Amino acid sequence: MAQLNSDYTIPDLAPELQRGPTWLQNHRRTLRQKFNDTPLPPRGLHLWRYTDPAKFMVGQTADQAASASKFKALIEEEQKHLAENHLSGLVTDFTGREIKALGVDKLSEQGVVIKALSDAVESHLDLVEPYLYGLVGSETGKFEAMNGALWNDGIFVYVPDNTVIEQPLHLLREAAGSGSAQFPRLLVVVGKNSEVTLIDEYGGGSSEKGADPAYSNGVVEIYGLEDSRTRYVSLQRHEPVTNSYLTHRAKIASGATMLTVPLAFGGALSKQNFGVIMAGPGSESNMYGMLFGTGRQHFDNHTLHHHASGQTHSNIDIKVVLRDKAISAYTGLIRIDEHAQTCEAYQENRNLLLSSGTKAETIPELEILNEDVSCSHGATVGPIDPIELFYLMCRGISLEVAQRMIVLGFVTPTLNRVPADMRERISRFVDTRLENV
Amino acid sequence: MSDAVERQKKDLSTLNQDYATKYGFSDPVDYFHKGARGLDHEVVEMISQMKKEPRWMADIRHQALDTFLSKPMPRWGNTKLLGEIDFKNIYYFMKPIENQQKSWDDVPEYIKKTFDKLGIPEAEKEFLGGVSAQYESEVVYHSMKEDLKAQGIVFLDMDSGLREREEIVKKYFGSVIPATDNKFAALNTAVWSGGSFIYVPPGVDVKIPLQAYFRINAENMGQFERTLIIADKGARVHYIEGCTAPVYSTDSLHSAVVEVIALEGASIRYTTIQNWSRNIFNLVTKRANAYKNATVEWVDGNLGSRLTMKYPCVQLLGEGARGEILSVAFAGIDQHQDAGAKVIHAAPNTSSRITSKSISKDNGRASYRGLAKVHKQAVGSKVSVECDALLIGDEARSDTYPTMEIDSEKVRVEHEARVSKVAEEQLFYLTSRGLTEDEARLLIVNGFMEPFTKELPLEYAVELNRLIELEMEGSIG
């Protein structure tokens, strides 16, 4: 079983380090060293002010043990969508052990590669090697290094140039239960002038109160080549006794667009870091996210929009809804480099507090290193406006329904960016969390 | 319109001296007392004994020195520049004359000349209720209008305040900013000298502003003034300070602590224009406590210094208290203005507003760093934060690091920030109406700063406008 241990170091003989071809083993060993040499981030440090890093220091990788029943029901539901042509493919990742790609034959004919990362490093070395660790590698922090050394398995998606995938591709991952640790990884390369929508779903984990939590430490790397159009939805719906950590970095080349939709509902402790680097002129990144915290859930989210090239455009809108004693800390940075001229960047973070024990921290940051930009951010924190409630109730709507309408209205800009089939499920998540406010 | 610009340009040409000739002079001085460089318990004891202080104050100083020595340097902000401060090479105490003067004529000629150049006596004659002028560590000149004295208002330098009003000082000294607050507050508490002490009795309204002027003359001098302002129940007061220093090749350190206490229903406004020369490290802790229905306003201008780190704070401790912080920063060549504001809401129905304006020019860097904290019990509170930044020049940099920590549900918190260059459309609009591009740009910058300048007393507003025009010169066109 995996337990917390702040002094944990990865042993030289960890079996994960021996996996894959030699170049990969070398990477794994470098990152193992990086993990072992990096001290636990001090609490005063910028992005660690609100979350204790020791809560992610899982001692050793565990024997996986998970119940498959919930997961199976979900797979069946998604297979229906697949049959109705609402999905273009389904990849299931059961506790990092069995990665299966379903219904992807048509895509394979088009040259699309969808595989377990451990297979792809053997079969498609030429496509994987230039990209793996390129965005989240040895330059990043302790926990990213941990994933880099230990990822047990991941998913690889490659879309060749000039290929449009009409329907979303659903990546469905289920973590194991109490005391388990998983290190999922995702690598996506979207070719020139290609288009794809990905739904990256993280479920499972532990729901055993009082027992050891389940741990998940994930890394996502996405490359959008010239003029590509990528939509990426990340859904975290872990079981309540799960600590999860996720680092996402995407890099888009000139003319490419990227839509990122981070959604977080689950877990006891969730720390997620989403970042898009605009590396070529004319590239554009939009991020529409939401999280809904209930009970004693703790969310610590970061976003980064890095304008590394001129003539780039970015927009962020993060919505936070909290009730009971839930806590959210959000730190969003917009960085515009010295030579990145004529950029536009906007950022908005709104927090809706539904009960009195909640806490919301919001830190929207700007680092602007040249003059020729237009940049703004806004943040608000407050309860449901009593005037809005009054207006609705005057028209005969019950308090409960009125609250629900207002909260759904609040998150609609985000929901509208989610593919239609998914949207219903997300609304259901919101609904169940609004009961007995 | 174009007349006004013409007039401004004319002002500019007559004002065509840089900081070095206007404030940058230094006087050759035989100091009455010049301590040794560096800091230890001996220096602290020497300062305390020269001032003939009570023992409790000496004890506070020694304790604070231990705190200073044990605390690490801040690990945030511009750590590279902070790392350049050489605490061993600084003079911690200098005394220019033996005794403080009440009549301007008695002040030694060289100091008088300095303050004459800075316009202190004229300001007093025309406008201000009281003036205090500090040269290095000690206040050299102090005066106050007779009628203010009659109302029971106390306006003294801090050393005299400690001598004459020991009971008030003992009660409030370090009560808002304890020495353990941060490394530089500890340093100030250990070696403080001079500063202003103001006490306004209950219900008294000080109709004309009180003013102090701080000047660093010597090289490697550290100035550590300590200011304590108390407005008793229902009292009102406006305090203004300004600061300059000559231009030396090595750096000096200014590290003040300002504690402001507004008791029930009182109102305090504190205005600073900081125009230190560009080799001064300006690391200042300013904080106010506002009790029930009290109002505290900080009006904070940062134009000078190499590195400024200053975040005026209002702690709203009583129901209905109000805090307002208006901050403006101008970062020119090689400057880093790391300024901002903090509001702590700890009582119900409190309100606060932060307005920050910054201009970064050439390779200057202006950062807004702020905190708005609303505690659980502060229901019905309102916070509004607005930051605007203007960038002039390719190498200019602007950062915004606001933090909002909200632990209460029934509150309204709003934050907004905008960063841009001078808008092409605005320039086009003005130039299409016959203004040259220079004139248009100056007009836009002045308009950008207006919410700040209109809060200043007239002569400060004029001075600030001139300073900005001076800074803008050369970039215009």
Q: Report whether B180 contacts B67 (CB < 8 A).
A: yes
pLDDT greater than 70 at residue B28: no
Give B302 or A63, the one with higher predicted confidence.
Answer: B302
pLDDT for res B117? 63
A187 domain-assigned: yes
d(CA A228, CA A290): 25
pLDDT value at A294 more than 90: yes
Contact between B358 and B389 (Cβ < 8 Å): yes
Q: Work out how many domains chain A is built from and give that number.
A: 1
Which residues in chain B (377-406) have CB-CB distances under 8 A to chain A? 389, 391-406
Give residues with Cβ within 8 angstroms of A269, minimum separation 6.
A51, A55, A213, A243, A244, A297, A298, A300
Contact B402 A365 (CB under 8 A): yes
Contact state of A358 with B419 under an 8 Å Cβ cutoff: no
Which one, of A197, A203, A302, lies nearest residue A249 by Cα?
A: A302
- pLDDT at B16 (0 to 100): 32
User: Which H or E element spans position B134?
Assistant: strand B130-135
Q: Which range is least confidently modeled, A220-224, B377-381, B464-468?
A: B464-468
- Minimal CA separation from B387 to chain A, in Å: 9
Query: Min CA distance, B331 vs chain A (Å)?
Result: 13
Among chain B residues, CA nearest to A327: B407
- Best of A368, A370, A377 to substitute, by most chain B Cβ atoms within 10 angstroms, is A368
Q: Is A386 on the interface with B (CB under 8 A)?
A: no
Residue of B406, B411, B412, B475 to mutate when probing chain A, most A C-beta within 10 A? B406
Residues in chain A closer than 8 A to B399 (CB atoms): 365-368
Q: Which residues of A touch B394 (CB under 8 A)?
A: 338, 341, 370-372
What pLDDT, in 10s, does the model give residues B35-91? 677 888 998 998 898 888 999 999 999 999 999 999 999 888 888 889 888 888 888
Q: What is the mean pLDDT of residues A123-149?
A: 93
CA distances from B313 to A4, A22, B88, B190, B352 (A): 40, 57, 30, 22, 11
Decide if B409 and A379 are in contact by the 8 Å CB cutoff: no
Helices marked H in B15-119: 19-22, 41-50, 55-70, 79-82, 109-118
- CB of B444 within 8 Å of a chain A CB? The answer is no
Nearest CB neighbour to A383, from listed B401, B409, B415: B409
- A359 vs B: CB within 8 A: yes
Neighbours of A432 (CB within 10 A): 11
Contact B403, B367 (CB under 8 A): no
Q: How far is B14 from A286, CA to CA, in rounded Å? A: 51
B366 CB within 8 Å of a chain A CB: no
Res B12: pLDDT:
37
B84 in contact with A, Cβ within 8 Å: no
Contact B256, B226 (CB under 8 A): yes
> What distance lies between CA B95 and its chain's CA centroid?
22
- What ipTM, to 2 d.p.? 0.76
Under 8 Å between Cβ of A221 and A252: no
Encoding tokens for residue B243? 């600061």
A329-333, B246-250, B427-431: segment of lowest average pLDDT: B246-250
Candidate from A119-133, B65-79, B431-445 with smallest mean pLDDT: B431-445
Q: Residues with Cβ < 8 Å from B410, sequence gap 6 or more?
A: A356, A383, B379, B380
Whether the CB of B352 is below 8 Å from some CB of chain A: the reply is no
B251: closest CA of chain A, how far (Å): 26
* Residues ≥6 apart with Cβ < 8 Å to B178: B185
pLDDT (average), residues B388-403: 89
Please tell me which residue of chain B has the smallest CA distance to A340: B394
Per-residue pLDDT band at B422 (split at 50, 70, 90): confident
Q: Is residue A144 part of a domain?
A: yes
Residue of B365, B211, B224 lying closest to B284 (CA atoms): B224
**Closest-approach residue (CA) in chain A for B77:** A46
Within an 8 Å CB–CB cutoff, is residue A383 touching chain B? yes
Examine the pLDDT at A393 and tell me if it is beyond 90: yes
CA distance A384 to chain B (A): 9
For chain A, what percent of residues have pLDDT higher than 90?
A: 68
The pLDDT value given to residue B30: 65
Query: Is A379 within 8 Å of B397 when comparing Cβ atoms?
Result: no
Please, what's the b/e burial string for A99-129 (b: 16 or more CB within 10 A of its CB; e: otherwise)?
A: bebbbbeebeeeebbbbbbbebbeeeeebbe
**Residue A346 in contact with residue A375, Cβ under 8 Å?**
yes
The neighbour count for residue B82, using CB atoms within 10 Å, is 19
Which of B402, B405, B409 lies closest to A353 in CB terms? B409
Q: In this structure, what is the dihedral angle of CA atoms B63, B66, B68, B69, given to the nearest 10 degrees?
A: 170
**Count of CB atoms situated within 10 Å of the CB of A416:** 10
Is A74's pLDDT higher than 70?
yes
Give domain status of residue A234, yes or no.
yes
Is the pLDDT assigned to residue A279 strictly greater than 90? yes
Q: What is the dihedral of CA B64, B65, B69, B71, to 10 degrees?
A: 10
Nearest to A371 among B391, B411, B414 (CB): B391
B53 in contact with A, Cβ within 8 Å: no
Position A48 in a domain: yes
Band (pLDDT 50/70/90 cuts) for residue B474 is: low
Whether B404 sits inside 8 A of A358 (CB atoms) is no
pLDDT value of residue A85 = 87
Residue in A360, A363, A376 nearest the CB of B418:
A376
Q: State the average pLDDT over residues A383-404.
A: 92
How far is CA B375 from its chain centroid?
27
pLDDT of the residue at B17 = 42
Is residue A72, in this structure, part of any structural domain at all? yes
Q: Are B257 and B251 in contact (CB under 8 A)?
A: no
Residue B476's pLDDT band, with cuts at 50, 70 and 90, is very low
- CB-based contacts of B296: which residues, under 8 Å, 6+ apart? B260, B262, B267, B268, B269, B270, B288, B290, B314, B321, B322, B323, B324
Whether residue B101 lies within 8 A of chain A, CB to CB, comes out as no
E runs forming strands in A205-326: 214-224, 229-236, 242-252, 257-264, 269-278, 284-293, 298-307, 313-322
Token representation of residue A108: 């394979």
- Non-local (6+) Cβ contacts of B261 within 8 A are B172, B175, B176, B228, B229, B230, B231, B288, B289
Size of interface A-B (CB pairs under 8 A): 114
pLDDT of residue B477: 34
Residue A159 domain flag: yes
Out of B401, B415, B419, name the one closest to residue A368 (CB): B419
Q: How many helices (H) and strands (E) are present in chain A, helices listed first?
A: 9, 20
Residue with tokens 């899982």: A58
Q: Does A41 touch chain B (CB under 8 A)?
A: no
Instruction: Give the C-alpha separation, A332 to A306, whole Å.
Output: 11
What distance in Å separates residue B165's CA from the closest CA in chain A?
40
**Residue among A366, A377, A389 with most chain B CBs within 10 A, to mutate:** A366
Q: Dihedral of CA B341/A359/A178/A274: which sign?
A: negative
The whole domain housing A37 covers 15-279
